[in-house]
């Protein structure tokens, strides 16, 4: 018999059932300690492949390896107990075939103990999403501005500025929902298109730079904390930790240089 109480995390069906209900709160997190804070407030936490840029100084998410996602995924699962943990499938680990996607998604789920994976792409990924969900892997889809395709898109560009493109984005949303995705990140699309996408699907939409009418919102934690020197225009900063960290580091450096640190309260006697 187990001596510990079972962990009651938010489940995939619970997230799915939030369609049209109370807005879903979500953030990214890549470490055990920040995840433990986010865990108190978020319905799900995304271990996003944005970690390549935010934590590892990469220029895009294209170079993020699977093992790095697994390492950060494990840390976030360890640091949390109530949010659903979703781990991004990095570029090149799922697009080639449903079989390849299954192998890598199963590896992520087995090695991190996360509850779901996320992958980018609309109608073109529908067959893969169906293949994964039919085999026990819950999939969050991601459409609109899909950073892993930034080279094809010509950069990180807002989608749907031209109304003629709306039908294709809505088709993407419907295709991934019909294929079994339990939720859908809608990134960087103009507000009226995001609203049409939300109305077109029976799964929750999670907006990022999209619309307040999405069924939930997500932000990159370091962006909203003011830790990244550059953030997209749509990001609201809820904190300004960059300058606070710099001040603390500079105070410490001055004290060390003037031999004021450690003070008498900070040494063993």
- β-pairing, 116-120 vs 84-88, is parallel
CA-based nearest residue to 90, from 123, 136, 126, 53: 53
Query: Does the annotation mark 255 as catalytic?
Result: no
Using the rule CB under 6 A, is 50 a contact of ligand KIV? yes
**Minimum distance of ligand KIV from residue 267's CB (angstroms):** 42
**Minimum distance of ligand KIV from residue 61's CB (angstroms):** 6
Using the rule CB under 6 A, is 73 a contact of ligand KIV? no
Per CB under 6 A, which region of 42-50, 108-116, 133-141, 155-163 contacts ligand KIV? 42-50
| C-beta separation of 214 from 184 below 8 A | no
| C-beta separation of 143 from 124 below 8 A | no
Q: State the Cα–Cα distance between residues 149 and 169, nearest whole angstrom.
A: 15
Using the rule CB under 6 A, is 49 a contact of ligand KIV? yes
257 is in an annotated binding site: no
**Minimum distance of ligand KIV from residue 166's CB (angstroms):** 21
Q: State the Cα–Cα distance between residues 239 and 223, nearest whole angstrom.
A: 9
CA-based nearest residue to 115, from 5, 2, 31, 7: 7
**Minimum distance of ligand KIV from residue 120's CB (angstroms):** 8
Tell me, residue by residue from 193 to 212, as one string, x for binding to ligand KIV by CB under 6 A and - for no binding.
Answer: ---------------x----
Tell me, residue by residue from 137 to 156, as one string, x for binding to ligand KIV by CB under 6 A and - for no binding.
Answer: -----x--------------
Total binding residues toward ligand KIV, as defined by CB under 6 A: 12
């Amino acid at each position: 018999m187990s001596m510990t109480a079972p962990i009651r995390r938010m489940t995939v069906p619970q997230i799915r059932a939030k369609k049209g209900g109370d807005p879903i709160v979500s953030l990214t997190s890549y470490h055990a300690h920040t995840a433990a804070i986010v865990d108190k407030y978020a319905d799900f936490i995304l271990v996003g492949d944005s970690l390549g840029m935010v934590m590892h100084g990469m220029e895009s998410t294209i170079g993020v390896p699977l093992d790095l996602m697994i390492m950060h995924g494990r840390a976030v699962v360890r640091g949390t107990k109530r949010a659903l943990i979703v781990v991004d499938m990095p570029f090149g680990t799922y697009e080639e075939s449903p079989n390849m996607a299954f192998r890598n998604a199963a590896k992520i789920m087995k090695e991190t103990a996360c509850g779901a994976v996320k992958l980018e792409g609309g109608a073109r990924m529908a067959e893969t999403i169906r293949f994964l969900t039919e085999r026990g892997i819950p999939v969050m889809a991601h459409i609109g501005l899909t950073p892993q395709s930034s080279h094809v898109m010509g950069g990180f560009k807002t989608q749907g500025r031209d109304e003629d493109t709306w039908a294709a984005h809505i088709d993407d949303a419907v295709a991934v929902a019909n294929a079994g995705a339990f939720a859908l990140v809608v990134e960087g699309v103009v507000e009226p298109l995001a609203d049409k996408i939300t109305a077109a699907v029976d799964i929750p939409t999670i907006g990022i730079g999209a619309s307040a009418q999405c069924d939930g919102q997500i932000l990159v934690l370091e962006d909203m904390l003011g830790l990244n020197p550059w953030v997209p225009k749509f990001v609201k900063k809820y904190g300004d930790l960059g300058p606070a960290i710099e001040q603390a580091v500079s105070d410490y450096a001055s004290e060390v240089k003037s031999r004021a640190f450690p003070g008498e309260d900070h040494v063993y006697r």
